[in-house]
Structure 1
Amino acid sequence: MEQKLFCNRGFLIISNHFNAFRRFLARIMQQIIENKESLAVATVIEADQTNIQFIGKRLLITESQLAGELLESPLASAIQRHKQSMLNQKGAQVVEIKTNTGLVNILCECYHPVAKLLVLGGGHIAQPLVNIASLLQYEITVVDDRPAFANKQRFAAARLVICDSFQSALRQHKIDKGTSVVIVTRGHKHDLECLEAVLQFEPAYIGMIGSKRRVKMVKEHLIGKGYSPEVVNQVHMPIGIAIGAETPEEIAVSIAAQLVAAKNGVIGGKIALTSSRQQWEMLEQILKAKEQLLPVVLATIVRTKGSTPRKTGAKMLVLPDGTCIGTIGGGCGEAEVRREALMLFDSHGAKLHRVMMDAATAADEGMVCGGQMDVFIERLV
């Protein structure tokens, strides 16, 4: 027998939150943010009649702990069965979960450590590369052993600039599966030293500058030292996508394009499990609202169909004065959601709202075609 899921359009589900619980949840979230470990957030957005009281409630999941309003609920064990798949997913998706009491639709979101970029060499290519990578939301570290090339004035967009020998810096710097490494030092000797040190780890990406002749020599050297051809061929050298780049800025663009392609699995075939700074900053904004008991409404895209400006997981916070933090795409659709969000300040509820972008609306918004977005709107505090 088919069970009907209540998507909560047209009426509100009232949920009471206790201050003590908010503070507990805030502490858990702060630990996750500071440790930068992966966090899965499962939010009930639709439910059948027997589970309708859980709409808007969450379970927070890491490898080592659980927290959230659903922790003591009958849904917790059913959600936990999806723990590994949620922690290993990128982005957000809606999953239907069967429980002993019925059906619920869960918005599963995963927050991973911020994508990191380690640039070895602070020369003329590194400067524009760091600026571009900052726009791409990388957390950047630059290393060079020359004070004139390793300083914050030269690399204002970098989180950390290290003036030290490459060997010393690499011994102290953590390189994990979320780190991309670009080797653009001032000479072949330093490049090779850096590459051999980096190959002891399993970074998301390794790229090294060099001519085809020089690359051939490096590959032969590494294989002669016992590195397998498979490992050596994972290094992108010469670095960058072939776009006929000539200037340092053009070379930086080609490297940045290759970084994005590797991160998204277009090359290498493996999608990096990383999140942007913006995603973590939004999570921190939500945390701040909970800690300070600020009245705020959160709007999250949970489904899309057709052409839409943003996809599942995009978020926007709405404050009582109508100020918005973040965006779900702008234009008429966002304005419609903002109006719906403002109404929740009087009702303390949650609802699912569908934004229809027909052909006329799409034309007004400058879109190629129309689509629709389901947006889950909830008052957090």
Structure 2
Amino acid sequence: MKEIKAIIEAYDCIDRSTTKAALATVVRVEGSSYRRTGARMLVMDDGVWVGGISGGCLEGDALKRARLAIAKSQASLVTYDTTEDDQHQIGVGLGCNGVIDVLLTPLSFEDATNPVEILKSCMNERRQTHILLTVIGLEDDYQGLQAGTMLRYTGPESIAFLDNPSLQAELTHTIEVYAEKGRSRPKAFDLPDGRTLELFIEILPPEIHLVLMGHQYDVLPLARLTKEIGWRTTIVANPQKLMSKLLAVTDAIVTPADFSTILIDEHTAIILMSHDFKTDKYNLPKVLQTAASYVGMLGPKVRSEKILKELSEEGIVISTAESERIHAPVGLDIGAISPEEIALSILAEIRAVFSLRTGEALRLRTTPIHERD
């Protein structure tokens, strides 16, 4: 999400009287790759680019090919195969041993539905998971679609223009499967006339939202690192008790009395870090009533156990499902000592939880790092 926002910002700053641009998007990955599907790079014809599609080995070649696509005003699909032991193959030195398809789409600034404009519309809306369909393979055109076309899927009605019940049903079913798994993948569909329509189906969830409930000095390194990652941060505290430096790294500051006004969804993590036992004990039942998927509490295990014990004695029952959302002590066991290291530990655990990972060392994995078809 941070990359998309950077691309939109750069796009809005382009001098359209002198500069043309294209969007490079990773639409298929087989095997290993530094970046995954959905990685993007905005390329200007003056040689400037924002974002990235690899660890740096493909960007130079993609820049040349993007400028060619701009000159032709035609989208193109480029395949980088790093599995071949060919010294002339771009990217082979990376050693990733994978195949990457990159779609290069020239951007028409006059077109309100060009890919960057569509991404911008997604960012401007209320937090939700967006589903984007991009044509990556199609001979000629079909019902107004052509290579490079991107559209938003908002339900079966949004693809009614295809005027093909069988195709619409198959596409809708595929989208539902991908959305349930949170997967972005390409998929080919047979057209009635024998041609093939290949789409990149992208599931684009909102950025992780971190709600920090506290005002002590350790809020600052956590907010700083969160901003660097590209997540959203809301601090719940008395504004008069917060350091002024927090204003530059926080999206919102909300008083405890206005906690209910915060938009909290399943992509939200809440950290209780007031350093006050009574305050955290008061806040825990309240935050468990929200849709937040992750609730963390600072402090040793004995402290959190005491909070849960006292709540139980007061008749406030924490269900098994609610207990599974509580992470106390918060963070991964990395031997963190300083506030900055503790922040790293906390954010690493949150990322692991939202990715359905354990947080163990990658060298201990017996399967590929990323899920493969």
2-side partners of 1:122 and 1:60: how far apart?
40
Q: Deviations over 1:151-177 (max 9, x none)?
A: 543342111123x2x2x1322212111
**Residue 253 (structure 1) aligned with residue 348 (structure 2):** no
Give the letter for the 2:229 counterpart: L
2-side partners of 1:51 and 1:206: how far apart?
48
Q: Give the corresponding residue for 2:252.
A: 160
Describe how 1:251-330 pairs up with structure 2 within 5 A: 251-267=342-358
After superposition, the Cα gap between the structure-2 partners of 1:154 and 1:44, relative to the gap in structure 1 and judged at 3 Å, is: closer
1-side partners of 2:109 and 2:230: how far apart?
34
Q: Give the corresponding residue for 1:199.
A: 288
After superposition, the Cα gap between the structure-2 partners of 1:114 and 1:63, relative to the gap in structure 1 and judged at 3 Å, is: farther
1:213 pairs, out of 278, 288, 302, with 302
1-side partners of 2:153 and 2:118: how far apart?
10
Aligned residue for 1:107, secondary structure, equals strand
After superposition, the Cα gap between the structure-2 partners of 1:49 and 1:20, relative to the gap in structure 1 and judged at 3 Å, is: closer
After superposition, the Cα gap between the structure-2 partners of 1:262 and 1:135, relative to the gap in structure 1 and judged at 3 Å, is: same
Check whether the contact 1:37–1:62 (CA below 8 A) recurs between aligned residues. Answer: no
| Segment drifting more, 254-263 vs 220-229 | 220-229
| Segment drifting more, 38-47 vs 23-32 | 23-32
RMSD value, Cα: 4.1
Task: State the TM-score, normalized to the length of structure 1.
Answer: 0.57
After superposition, the Cα gap between the structure-2 partners of 1:44 and 1:31, relative to the gap in structure 1 and judged at 3 Å, is: closer
Gaps of 5+ in 1: 1-8, 269-306, 313-381
Gaps of 5+ in 2: 1-64, 76-105, 360-367
Give the letter for the 2:291 counterpart: E
CA displacement at 1:132 relative to structure 2: 0.9
**Residue 32 (structure 1) aligned with residue 111 (structure 2):** no
2-side partners of 1:199 and 1:157: how far apart?
26
Identity of matched residues, %: 20
CA displacement at 1:214 relative to structure 2: 1.0
Aligned residue for 1:105, secondary structure, equals strand
Give the letter for the 1:32 counterpart: C
Check whether the contact 1:219–1:232 (CA below 8 A) recurs between aligned residues. Answer: no
Q: Give the corresponding residue for 2:234.
A: 141
Give the letter for the 2:148 counterpart: G
Task: State the TM-score, normalized to the length of structure 2.
Answer: 0.58
Check whether the contact 1:179–1:205 (CA below 8 A) recurs between aligned residues. Answer: yes
CA displacement at 1:232 relative to structure 2: 1.9
**Residue 169 (structure 1) aligned with residue 258 (structure 2):** yes
Give the letter for the 2:296 counterpart: G
Give the letter for the 2:268 counterpart: T
Give the total of aligned pairs: 258
**Residue 100 (structure 1) aligned with residue 192 (structure 2):** yes
CA displacement at 1:117 relative to structure 2: 0.7
2-side partners of 1:257 and 1:216: how far apart?
23
Check whether the contact 2:114–2:150 (CA below 8 A) recurs between aligned residues. Answer: no
After superposition, the Cα gap between the structure-2 partners of 1:186 and 1:64, relative to the gap in structure 1 and judged at 3 Å, is: farther
Aligned residue for 2:335, secondary structure, equals coil
Q: Give the corresponding residue for 2:271.
A: 182
After superposition, the Cα gap between the structure-2 partners of 1:233 and 1:217, relative to the gap in structure 1 and judged at 3 Å, is: farther
Check whether the contact 1:50–1:101 (CA below 8 A) recurs between aligned residues. Answer: no
Aligned residue for 2:132, secondary structure, equals strand
2-side partners of 1:145 and 1:30: how far apart?
33
Structure with higher RCO (Cα < 8 A, 6+ apart): 1
Q: Give the corresponding residue for 1:56.
A: 148
Check whether the contact 2:132–2:201 (CA below 8 A) recurs between aligned residues. Answer: yes
Q: Deviations over 1:47-80 (max 9, x none)?
A: 478969733333320248627xx94465655433
Check whether the contact 1:128–1:252 (CA below 8 A) recurs between aligned residues. Answer: yes
1-side partners of 2:156 and 2:268: how far apart?
23
**Residue 116 (structure 1) aligned with residue 209 (structure 2):** yes
2-side partners of 1:145 and 1:60: how far apart?
40
